Amino acid sequence: MAPVDRLREGARRIPRFLRATRHGSEDETPDVGEADGDETFDEFVDRVYRQLLDRPVDPPGLAHWRSVVADGYPREQMVLDLAVSDEHVNRILREHFALPDLGALHPERFERQTRLDGVEETVFVARSDADVDWLEGEIRDHGYYDRPGIWSYVVDTDKRVLAELVHDLGVHRVLDLGCGNGVLMEAMLDLGMDPEGVELSSASVARAAARVRDRIHVRDVSEFDPQGTYDAVVGLDIFEHLNPRKIDKVLGAVSGILGDHGLLVTNIPVFGEDEVFGNPRPFLFQEWAESAAAGRWFRVMQVEATGFPLHGHLVWATSAWWTDKVHAHGFVRERGIEHAIQRRYRAYFDKASPGRAQMFVFSKGMRSSDATEVAAAYPSESEVVTGLGLDDVTGPRP
């Protein structure tokens, strides 16, 4: 039996595990499906999430379990479903997927710095482009992105929201950069779109569903020669993982892939103030503020315990830096469309997926009147978000 199968089979013992973890002895406690004392159903679900997934329950997840359990779905089965989920299996496997400690192996490349808020932490300092090249090489050579638990492999609420977000821009043929196993493409297919994907990891593509596997091109986007052009290119959580010296090559390729009036829709974590989505991530280091003022990407990078850059991000910069970078390749940032997206989804982003709020839309050759028309026609409510059971999940941006 394969290790993953053994882990899934072991999930059959999860209810016993939960009782023992909470109470110390399963013989002293009721079945996991029963409330314990004053524990509410929401508290029960949150406890299961923390014990299995090592995180609090998210609002969409809680809304889902409220609904299905109210319809008679057993609590015990809910626990088993979470125990055999990709997220739980990947979390356990990831704990046993060892990465080297870059800080211990190469202490000269790291230093302790005091943040603007007074907290001291270890950071990686890219004193030259060669330092970033080295860090990129360590990420590649040690299979950082091949670890279980890095990417989501299921068509979840997040993917359906993103597919809807792109679909309602009026596009049909779409290329998904760094598509993984194609779960966003699956959600797009469900909406009648014609998606394709580009992905470097053959291991990820091997996990793709049959209906999208043949739509994925296993190669670097800068070497991709498509048949025809696309209405939109989607790059979600992709560009910040690139070596900053390679971004221009990728953006040049994207410009060639898009047809006239095509859109680049991208979600990038940025720092400092932005006129559309506010100030999601303040400057933490003096170097960040100085680099922002000089129009540079940040040379000081936060790192994980192993010394790899936090979340694998190699580009730390402001929205202004990213906007200028994309503009240099003939794109225009469509802030009117971005505002329409924020009006529709911002309350949902804030509650369920804060990182998604940094959503950019750039156009190639689109007339300003056409962009205004797209923004005006953008729906005000989300069919995916509606019914999740969240309060005030749609409406004007705060």
DSSP 58: P
Predicted local confidence at residue 87, as pLDDT: 74
Interval 56-114: pLDDT, tens? 888 878 888 888 888 888 888 889 888 877 677 767 766 667 789 999 999 999 999 99
d(CA 319, CA 111): 27
Joined tokens for residue 287: 């170097």
User: Is the pLDDT reported for residue 291 higher than 90?
Assistant: yes
Interval 123-136: pLDDT, tens? 999 999 999 999 99
Interval 317-355: pLDDT, tens? 999 999 999 999 999 999 999 999 999 999 899 888 888
User: Is the pLDDT reported for residue 365 higher than 70?
Assistant: yes
By the 8 A CB rule, do 312 and 145 touch?
yes
Predicted local confidence at residue 20, as pLDDT: 38
Q: How confident is the model at residue 357 (pLDDT cuts 50, 70, 90)?
A: very high
User: Is the pLDDT reported for residue 362 higher than 70?
Assistant: yes
Q: How confident is the model at residue 4 (pLDDT cuts 50, 70, 90)?
A: very low
* Residues paired with 174 in a beta bridge: 195, 232
Which is more confident, 360 or 142? 360
**Best-predicted range by mean pLDDT among 15-24, 35-44, 284-293?**
284-293
The stretch 23-29 carries a mean pLDDT of: 37
Predicted local confidence at residue 88, as pLDDT: 77
User: Is the pLDDT reported for residue 234 higher than 90?
Assistant: yes
Predicted local confidence at residue 150, as pLDDT: 53
User: Is the pLDDT reported for residue 11 higher than 70?
Assistant: no
From the CB of residue 241, how many other CB atoms can be counted at a distance below 10 Å?
A: 17
Predicted local confidence at residue 389, as pLDDT: 60
Predicted local confidence at residue 204, as pLDDT: 80
Percent of the chain with pLDDT over 90: 58
Mean pLDDT (the chain) is 85
* Residues paired with 177 in a beta bridge: 198
User: Is the pLDDT reported for residue 27 higher than 70?
Assistant: no
| Long-range contacts, 303-306 (Cβ 8 Å, 24+) | 303/102, 303/103, 303/110, 303/122, 303/123, 303/124, 305/101, 306/99, 306/100, 306/101, 306/102, 306/103
Which is more confident, 69 or 192? 192
Please spell the DSSP secondary structure of 233-287, one letter per residue: EEEES-GGGS-GGGHHHHHHHHHHHEEEEEEEEEE---BS-BTTTB-SS---SHH
